[in-house]
Amino acid sequence: MEFANRLERLSPYVPGEQPKIEGLIKLNTNENPFPPAPGVKEAVLQAAENLQKYSDPEAAVLCQALAETFGLKKEEVICGNGSDEILAFAFLAFCDKDHPAVFPRVTYGFYEVLANLFQVPTRRFELQADLSIDPAECCQKGETVFLANPNAPTGILMPLSSVERILKADPDRVVVLDEAYADFAPENGRSLIERYENLLIVRTFSKSRSLAGGRLGFALGNQKLIEGMRRIKDSFHPYNVNAMTQAAGISVLKAEAYTKKTADQVIKTRERTKKVLKDQGFELTDSAANFLFLKKAGFEGKTLAEELRKKKILVRHFNTPGIEDYLRVSVGSEEEMDFFLKAITELTATEKWESEREKE
């Protein structure tokens, strides 16, 4: 059948493993080690009592709460079933054959998957030698920019001054600033919204707000951009955020102090872990996210990930040219990171493992 060929050519996103192995330390999908804010469980249970009713397609209360949290109007906010869905809406809304998508070759893998799915032309460019993004690569007129900031999986933050340069390069095209990890970073693009009509900020509840399983993302931006996104949403999936998740999101936003406290703890643990690894000769990027991106000379990333798995620690390795030697390690609890540090020290401290590998 003809359409079967097209479907065979699709290469879907490969999410990090979610195995149910007892005692496993899961540092492979950048989840938050802390549980959802107090009150979330009760809010979800209460919403569950009315599941015979459809959820609010506008997610009005949630959008209002987000608007208040970020000092915006409700019309400047839209919610999605995870930020992955928001990204999908953005590809549908802002890319076509005259507006190709541009993003680095090493970035969040879902951009390429979505571009392929929606048959959007793309231009992909290389990272610089230090793994940072050259803003000049994102300044070509007419291209819709997808910029993860901090970038994934490197964790490197592009300074706001460079983001502004990209926004200014062509006010007629949209810049999608994917700030999934913004709450772990020293600065973010929120203050740019009033000044740049072409800025769409994408955020998620999956990381700093401990709600990965709830699937909740949102976008902030100029009313016209958000209205465009809403038209896409209502042409695709009007009830996209279920009632329990809307309730969970509203409840989380009432507990911003908890979000801040837990994010601060993750940052502290990140910096402590980074220092121990640096002292042991690891090379690490200056990650502003809730994960570390690291390698050690003489050790293959793939083998190291496999060896860690044998010790019941799951980390993420990418077979992507240029970063094959790196591991992406989510920042877990203090105890989880101690366990990880002990394991990786044992694996890399001795010459034994390396010489054994050479014999193979």
DSSP code per residue over 37-85 = PTTHHHHHHHHHTTTTSPP-TT-HHHHHHHHHHHT--GGGEEEESHHHH
Structure tokens at 328: 């992406």
With binding defined as CB under 6 A, does residue 180 bind ligand PMP?
yes
Question: Which of the stretches 50-58, 78-86, 156-164, 300-308 binds ligand PMP when contact is defined by CB under 6 A?
Answer: 78-86
Query: Does the footprint of ligand PMP cover residue 301 (CB under 6 A)?
Result: no
Which lies closer to ligand PMP via its Cβ, residue 74 or residue 316? Answer: 316
Calpha distance 150→184 (Å, rounded): 9
Give dist(CA 55, CA 246) in Å, integer.
8
Closer CB to ligand PMP, 80 or 228, in the complex: 80
Site for ligand PMP (CB under 6 A): how many residues? 12
Distance CA 60, CA 56 (A): 7
> Distance between CA atoms of 191 and 179, rounded to whole angstroms?
13
CB-based contact 330:31 (threshold 8 Å): yes
The answer to the question of residue 290 lying near ligand PMP (CB under 6 A) is no
**7 C-beta neighbours (distance < 10 Å), count:** 8
Closest of 302, 293, 15 to residue 154, by C-alpha: 293
Q: Report how far apart, in Å, the C-alpha atoms of 318 and of each of 90, 128, 314 are.
A: 26, 18, 13
Stretch that binds ligand PMP, among 77-85, 221-229, 268-276, 302-310 (CB under 6 A): 77-85
Determine the residue with CB nearest ligand PMP. Answer: 82
266 binds ligand PMP (CB under 6 A): no
Instruction: Verify binding: residue 108, ligand PMP, rule CB under 6 A.
Output: yes
249 lies in the site for ligand PMP, by CB under 6 A: no
User: How many Cα atoms occupy the beta-carbon half-sphere of 336 within 13 Å?
Assistant: 22
User: What is the closest distance, in whole angstroms, from the C-beta atom of residue 198 to ligand PMP in the complex?
Assistant: 20
Q: How far is the CB of 90 from ligand PMP (least distance, A)?
A: 11
Please tell me whether residue 147 binds ligand PMP under the rule CB under 6 A: no
Asked whether position 31 contacts ligand PMP by CB under 6 A, the answer is: no
> Could you say which residues in the range 187-226 bind ligand PMP, by CB under 6 A?
204, 206, 212, 217
Q: List the one residue from 84, 112, 137, 336 that touches ligand PMP (CB under 6 A).
A: 84
Least Å distance, CB 229 to ligand PMP, is 15
Task: Look at the chain and count its residues.
Answer: 360
Q: Is 78 in the site for ligand PMP (CB under 6 A)?
A: no
One of 33, 36, 82, 332 touching ligand PMP (CB under 6 A): 82
| Helices and strands (H, E) in the chain, number of each type | 12, 12
Interface positions with ligand PMP (CB under 6 A): 82-84, 108, 148, 152, 178, 180, 204, 206, 212, 217
